[in-house]
Amino acid sequence: MSKLVGAVAIAGGGIAGIQSAIDLASSGLKVYLIESSTTIGGKMAQLDKTFPTLDCSMCTLSPKLAEVARHPNIELMTYSEITGITGEPGDFTVTVKNKATYVDYDKCTACELCVSKCPVKVPDEYNEGQNNRKAIYLAFPQAVPRVFTIDADHCLYLNKGKCGNCQKACENDAINFEDTDKEVDINVGSVILNTGFEPYDASNLEQYRIDHPNVVSSLEFERQLSSSGPFEGHVTLADGSHPRRIAWIQCVGSRSPEIGRNTCSSVCCMYATKEAMVAMEHDLDLETTIFNIDIRAFGKGFEEFYQKAKNEKGIRFINSRPSGVEVDPVTDNISLKYEAEDGSGIKREEFDMIVLSIGLTPSDSSKNLAKIAGVEMDDNDFVKTKIDHPLETSKPGIFVCGAMQAPKDIPDTVADASGAASKAASLLSSERGNLVTEKKYPPEKDMGDEIRTGVVVCRCGINIGNIVDVPDVVEYAKTLPHVVLAKEEVYACSTDSLEGIADLVREHNLNHMVVASCTPRTHEPLFRETLMEAGLNPYLFELANIREHCSWVHQNNKEEATKKAKDIIRMSVSRANLLQPLYQEKLEFNKDALVIGGGIAGMNAALDIAEKGFKVTLLEKESELGGMLLKFTHLQDGRTTKEVLEPIIQKVESNPNITVHIETELTEQEGSMGNFKGHIKGANVDEDIEFGVAIIATGANELEPEGYFSYGEYSNIITESQLEQKLDEGVDAKNVVFIQCAGGRNDERPYCSRACCTVAMKNAIRLKESDPDRNVTILYRDIRTFGVWEELYTKARELGVVFMRYTEDKEPEVSEKTVRIFDHLMNMDFEINYDLMVLSAPMVTPETNELLAPMFKVTLDANRFFLEAHIKLRPVECATDGVFLAGTSQAPKLVDESVSQASAAASRACTILSRDFLETIGNVSVVDPELCIGCGRCTLVCPYNAPELKEVTVETEEIVYITKKSEINPAVCKGCGCCAAECPTGAITARHFTTPQIMAVIKAYGEGI
């Protein structure tokens, strides 16, 4: 590698691209985020809620969108496509075609004036074509970049030369009909491919009758559920009424080798369950039915979610796959035929609405991009990777993640994305910081003694200006205390207005500033930056939201809206007058990492961190590295675990940045991110250790299924790992029976262990291949060979492995040589002889977890796995800053997932280690030690573990005593103010929301009534 460029091109601006971009940009690399549509956000932006927590999808996503928009190291290239990639690792040239948008993005303020004037209606892609948008459009309100684009395919002016209404309506001169496509070359060191998936087009399968208006795809249904969707959240039939009975058909375009769709799409069972649950929340009388082959609730919290849906919410799950939708030629009613589970034969049932659970397929553009990048694809058109290298494509320097590699859900995609970022960052670690520039601001001016507040009232075009009497409001603002200047702007956020605001601050010597416009979510950073450019501390800015909170919601009452705008501004001014400059603090910190657990996850995490130049201590409590994989002999791709483990162990042991301690455990631990202090004790070591970040990779163990299916009673009943050891020696059993979920998915361990079905499939295939005459039977509840591993299930069936389903209320009865199973479809008992029985037992957590969790102040979930900070978007982080999770310590996983997650944890950890300093936020909460009585309530409410009780001696004249007092760690505090609200004595102040500031706002409100 002759040259290394400290920049990365990321293809695809969905949640994967967003996460990779944030990780890389935060590690000091320049990022080009290239997205073909007008906005980043991808498919996640279209989702209403996310399983299994039913969080609002957009609510969790939009802060990430805003973070990308604001990040100085990320260059967004939306409405752009990659047309060429040349060069080699460290030095690629990527050719990007920027499609003409016909709108000058620098001038557009997204005021929407143009929209109402545009006469063209186009089916709205965001709502899956269920309503219309205009030819000039913003994909959705939270879109990033928040600028309008003209759809050249439908614009009247561009196609017929007439209209041009938008140009006339635009007050900012942002419309440019002369715009053309441009091609640019960017020079990067690495490329990450994550263009995601395409929803399966159900019109390919005519039998499912998506042409019928009441048969919808699951994504159409998702939009119907959304309050920002076509029917404002009301599920609606073609005649405008609301359905009473809805059915979902699973696996439409998935698990269908007959149409060349071999894989399981991994997410549909859960999203269908979620959609049914949410629909029932909207309409309590709704009846919902999900027709399925298996319910694949394999992820963290999924099985519990499924059981809740089935047992508490009354969603009907029918284990049958209807062959198609039948439409009555007379009534046009829709119905499904299916095989009843009780053995009573074929039934027909009518539904008002049928939802097709469409799968995740590789998109044409992804296939094309793979071709441009020159990376190999697998037989299912996913980018080819290896189990132990799940993020590396066949081409060095080009990485892949998310659904472009295999169908997967959001947290796995996010983990992949961080993992791919880690791989790119390792390659370019010497170039960190070289291509990024820090913005310089003038020194802060002297505040003086007098409070001089300026108020700018924004018309936001007609958004505010047509409802609120802005000149009247401006005159009113001038009368408020300390206001020395008030004026209006058409668009306060336009570039020239921002410069104008900076000029006002300078000319009128303002030291506090209020802008009355829109939401701080999108606009506060912009105005704060303006203040900094004018030499004012950014915390002296206050935004009054008179659009979302006023003009938009009071369009029909202009007089009251004007009055309310005055109220809001009066309240904001009262607070602004009390605002104080706040400063970020720079703290030195320890840049070493500790990795706990030397399995495949811990080793990969350690390597990824070490490759970026940081020192790592790796602890393993057993006598050799390798973890749970040592107990198994083969991977499901046919390779031996030895083949995979040996090279990585060798790499770990020879890496000069990694110190390995075997038979060693962490015995004590305190401190916080950047400043952890602990003690390690083991075979050859007994010493204190300091580190900045920690990765918990303590793994899991296969349960000894004592007490389940006669395990322990007969020597011919063994577990999967025992079978693998035996298989290497040769198994002569002629009749082998597997029982799945042995000790799992029950009251004691309600979770699904995710990997066991794939492991059983791998072993059943080995048994069959080594002796085709052998009888192999698998007794299962649901076969959960998700994603590409579905092909193993298909192969096992082809090889003659027999599958029989059982339910938890009628478990198989095992005696020494036979097992009795009740078959629901036949409605009768079967007796199967066996020589060898294999139990698929779940992964369970090691006892170490119970010791580590309190040490790091992190939480274990109900199943004693470590709890991540957010189930969807922060899958490898703990709520405690600086502590990360890799592998099965977080939840059961397959090997490739553990490896990918290990890289993800390393990536997240390195976003911290790459910093020069730990920078606090300005508005941290502080404790007044004299008022603190050490009750510790702040420690209970803080979500980040920022307050800590520390021993001090209090001396009064007559009494000297030792007590604990709260101290808030500024490196960890996020300024949320929970502690300040909870503190009984008022000892804690949330610096940007002090009690006097809040009381001033309340008082100012009161002055209006």
Residue 304 CA to chain centroid, in angstroms? 20
DSSP run (H or E) holding 616: strand 616-620
Rounded to the nearest whole angstrom, what is the least distance from the CB of residue 883 to another protein in the complex? Answer: 21
Burial (CB < 10 A; 0-12, 13-18, 19+), residue 479, is exposed
Burial (CB < 10 A; 0-12, 13-18, 19+), residue 809, is exposed
Distance CA 4, CA 430 (A): 8
Kindly determine how many residues on this chain lie close enough to bind another protein according to the rule CB under 8 A.
29
Rounded to the nearest whole angstrom, what is the least distance from the CB of residue 858 to another protein in the complex? Answer: 18
Residue 897 CA to chain centroid, in angstroms? 15
Distance CA 578, CA 152 (A): 50
> Of 153, 951, 1006, 1009, which one interacts with another protein (CB under 8 A)?
951
Show the binding pattern over residues 906-935: x = contacts another protein (CB under 8 A), - = does not. Answer: -----------------------xxxxxxx
* Cβ-based nearer residue to another protein, 802 or 933: 933
**DSSP single-letter state for residue 454:** E
Rounded to the nearest whole angstrom, what is the least distance from the CB of residue 951 to another protein in the complex? Answer: 7
Query: For residue 203, what are its two tokens?
Result: 């019109």
* Cβ-based nearer residue to another protein, 346 or 959: 959
Distance CA 965, CA 949 (A): 5
Question: Which residues inside 956-995 make contact with another protein, applying CB under 8 A?
Answer: 956-959, 961-965, 981, 984-987, 995
Distance CA 937, CA 947 (A): 10
Rounded to the nearest whole angstrom, what is the least distance from the CB of residue 981 to another protein in the complex? Answer: 7
Binding segment for another protein among 788-796, 824-832, 897-905, 955-963 (CB under 8 A)? 955-963
* Cβ-based nearer residue to another protein, 182 or 950: 950
Rounded to the nearest whole angstrom, what is the least distance from the CB of residue 678 to another protein in the complex? Answer: 20
Upper half-sphere CA count for residue 171 (Cβ side, 13 Å): 14
Rounded to the nearest whole angstrom, what is the least distance from the CB of residue 102 to another protein in the complex? Answer: 55
* Cβ-based nearer residue to another protein, 526 or 952: 952
> Of 954, 967, 976, 993, which one interacts with another protein (CB under 8 A)?
954
* Cβ-based nearer residue to another protein, 233 or 934: 934
Give the 3-state secondary structure of 807-858: ECCECCEECCCEEEEEECCCCEEEEEECCEEEECCCEECCCHHHHHHHHHCC
Query: For residue 28, what are its two tokens?
Result: 């000091």
With CA atoms as reference, report the closest residue to 132 among 145, 121, 119: 121
Residue 923 CA to chain centroid, in angstroms? 27
Distance CA 846, CA 750 (A): 17
By the 8 A CB rule, do 492 and 111 touch? Answer: no
Rounded to the nearest whole angstrom, what is the least distance from the CB of residue 991 to another protein in the complex? Answer: 17
Rounded to the nearest whole angstrom, what is the least distance from the CB of residue 928 to another protein in the complex? Answer: 9
* Cβ-based nearer residue to another protein, 594 or 946: 946
Site for another protein contains 1006 (CB under 8 A): no
* Cβ-based nearer residue to another protein, 264 or 858: 858
Rounded to the nearest whole angstrom, what is the least distance from the CB of residue 997 to another protein in the complex? Answer: 14
Rounded to the nearest whole angstrom, what is the least distance from the CB of residue 949 to another protein in the complex? Answer: 5
Distance CA 573, CA 598 (A): 57
* Cβ-based nearer residue to another protein, 773 or 961: 961
Q: Which are the contacts of 190, defined by CB distance < 8 A and separation ≥ 6?
A: 8, 9, 89, 90, 92, 397, 398, 399, 423, 424, 427, 428
Distance CA 584, CA 980 (A): 20
Rounded to the nearest whole angstrom, what is the least distance from the CB of residue 878 to another protein in the complex? Answer: 21
Residue 270 CA to chain centroid, in angstroms? 16
* Cβ-based nearer residue to another protein, 809 or 961: 961
* Cβ-based nearer residue to another protein, 828 or 940: 940
With CA atoms as reference, report the closest residue to 469 among 582, 538, 566: 566
Distance CA 946, CA 936 (A): 12
Distance CA 71, CA 40 (A): 14
* Cβ-based nearer residue to another protein, 60 or 966: 966
Rounded to the nearest whole angstrom, what is the least distance from the CB of residue 857 to another protein in the complex? Answer: 13
Query: Residue 653 is which amino acid?
Result: E
With CA atoms as reference, report the closest residue to 109 among 151, 139, 147: 147
* Cβ-based nearer residue to another protein, 100 or 941: 941
Show the binding pattern over residues 931-950: x = contacts another protein (CB under 8 A), - = does not. Answer: xxxxxxx-xx--------x-
Rounded to the nearest whole angstrom, what is the least distance from the CB of residue 931 to another protein in the complex? Answer: 5
* Cβ-based nearer residue to another protein, 707 or 986: 986
**Residue where the block lists tokens 């040259």:** 3
Rounded to the nearest whole angstrom, what is the least distance from the CB of residue 985 to another protein in the complex? Answer: 4
Distance CA 846, CA 535 (A): 55
* Cβ-based nearer residue to another protein, 284 or 962: 962
Helix and strand totals (H; E) in the chain:
25, 52
Rounded to the nearest whole angstrom, what is the least distance from the CB of residue 930 to another protein in the complex? Answer: 6
The length of the chain is 1009
Rounded to the nearest whole angstrom, what is the least distance from the CB of residue 955 to another protein in the complex? Answer: 9
* Cβ-based nearer residue to another protein, 241 or 956: 956
Show the binding pattern over residues 578-617: x = contacts another protein (CB under 8 A), - = does not. Answer: ----------------------------------------
Q: In the chain, what's the furthest Cα-to-Cα distance?
A: 96
Rounded to the nearest whole angstrom, what is the least distance from the CB of residue 378 to another protein in the complex? Answer: 55
By the 8 A CB rule, do 695 and 593 touch? Answer: yes
Rounded to the nearest whole angstrom, what is the least distance from the CB of residue 549 to another protein in the complex? Answer: 25
Show the binding pattern over residues 327-366: x = contacts another protein (CB under 8 A), - = does not. Answer: ----------------------------------------
* Cβ-based nearer residue to another protein, 556 or 961: 961
Which residue(s) pair with 9 in the sheet? 32, 191
**Residue where the block lists tokens 């960017």:** 186
With CA atoms as reference, report the closest residue to 268 among 296, 302, 298: 296
Cis? peptide before 984, omega within 30° of 0: no
Query: For residue 194, what are its two tokens?
Result: 């994550």
H-assigned helices in 209-356: 218-225, 268-282, 302-311
Give the 3-state secondary structure of 783-800: CCCCHHHHHHHHHHHHCC
Binding site for another protein (CB under 8 A): 929-937, 939-940, 949, 951, 954, 956-959, 961-965, 981, 984-987, 995
